Amino acid sequence: MILSRRPDIERFLKTPDPAIRVAVIYGRDVGVVRERAQALAAAVTDRPDDPFDCALLTEADIDGEVGKLEGELQAISMMGGRRLVRLRLGEKAAVDRAASEALAAHAAGDFNPDAFFLIEGGALGRDSQVRKVGEKIQGVVVIPCYEDEPGDLARLTREALAADKVGIETDALDLFVSRLPRERGVARSEIERLALFLGPGSGRVARAADLEDFLGVEPEASLLDAAQDAFGGRLGAAHAGLRRAAQEGEGGPAAVRAMGMHLAKLRRTLTLHQAGAGLQEAAKASGVFWKAEREFLRQARSWSLKDLDGVQADILAADLACKQSGSPDRLISERLALMIAGRARRLGL
């Protein structure tokens, strides 16, 4: 069984199906994989860190010694609770094959039926035996972990800050999320740092202006600013912003996503305006950052919904192209910025 929708995954991590004996959690983002594995480990056993209840194995532990993995799956908890066996896979095909064989045998009940087998992997390809076997047989759940989207990071930020009894305004949240790295573990560290900056338990609500010193990054270096420059017809500034973002570790897919987010704000603003809202009021409702409002309104007066429909198709095509293996994603994002800026100039911007 494959779980890919966030609500289904969260429901399973909170209350695992008793019929499931094996879980495979994998993905490029190690932080998300580790976080979900920890949540599942805590749900299946009362003492996930107790060496009498839990065995933690790495690829090196079973490379050439498969019997060690089978022995751990056959063992019974000394303390009487449910036994947990965790295996962290690497990249060796032999270990992947051995793990898949142990997975199938344990799901069939050949080892301790009360033990739970948790496999954590990186970006397992379609040729991974663990994936192939796990996705087909009963008693196994496979959870792929994808890169966090801005909406996921926004939700994560709000929930974490609320737990520390502090908050953040919408404009500030947009700004903060736009600067967060996509790796979950690093993003969580940044969110915790923000909570400390605001003062846990203080009830303080961060505004966009409060974050300027905290972020420590010039707004012009933001991918969102590069997207705004492209839609404003300023190609040179857009490309400069993209280059700075690349130096900060943001690749082409993130740049394309930023341009899609800017288009979405323009579309929402124009739709609300057509429904009778004032243009400035519509921009605020669309989450436009207050410092960018003047430039955004200038663009909203020139772009039409029909014009945006044409750009939307190009953004979707660029997004798909960036996700292909070996694609020149930085060049794709720069070409997209060139195309958008050219259309903006033709609109008089």
Per-residue pLDDT of the chain (349 residues; tens, 9 = 90+): 899 888 899 999 999 998 899 999 998 777 788 889 999 999 988 888 777 788 888 888 887 787 888 888 888 877 667 889 999 888 788 889 999 999 999 998 888 888 999 999 888 888 899 999 999 898 999 999 877 777 788 888 999 999 999 999 988 888 888 777 666 777 787 888 889 889 899 999 998 888 876 775 544 456 888 899 999 999 988 888 888 777 767 778 888 988 998 999 999 899 989 988 889 888 888 878 777 888 999 999 999 999 999 999 999 999 889 878 778 888 999 999 999 999 999 999 9
Residue 34 φ/ψ, nearest 5 degrees: -65, -40
Residue whose C-alpha is closest to residue 88's, from 140, 37, 143: 37
**pTM tops 0.85, yes or no:** no
Residue 347 and residue 349: Cα distance in Å, rounded? 6
Residues of the chain with CATH 3.40.50.300: 6-145
Residue 65 φ/ψ, nearest 5 degrees: -140, 65
Helices (H), 199-278: 211-215, 223-231, 235-247, 252-274
Q: Which fold has domain 152-346?
A: Zinc Finger, Delta Prime; domain 3 (1.20.272)
Residue 218 and residue 212: Cα distance in Å, rounded? 8
Which pLDDT belongs to residue 222? 66
Stated as kind and residue range, the H or E segment containing 140 is strand 140-145
Residues of the chain with CATH 1.20.272.10: 152-346
Contacts for 200 with CB less than 8 Å, ≥ 6 apart: 164, 165, 166
Residue whose C-alpha is closest to residue 177's, from 147, 146, 145, 149: 149
∠ CA 326-143-108, nearest 5°, is: 125
Which pLDDT belongs to residue 333? 92
Residue 304 φ/ψ, nearest 5 degrees: -115, 165
Which pLDDT belongs to residue 181? 66
Cβ 172 vs Cβ 208: under 8 Å: yes
In CATH terms, the superfamily for domain 6-145 is: P-loop containing nucleotide triphosphate hydrolases (3.40.50.300)
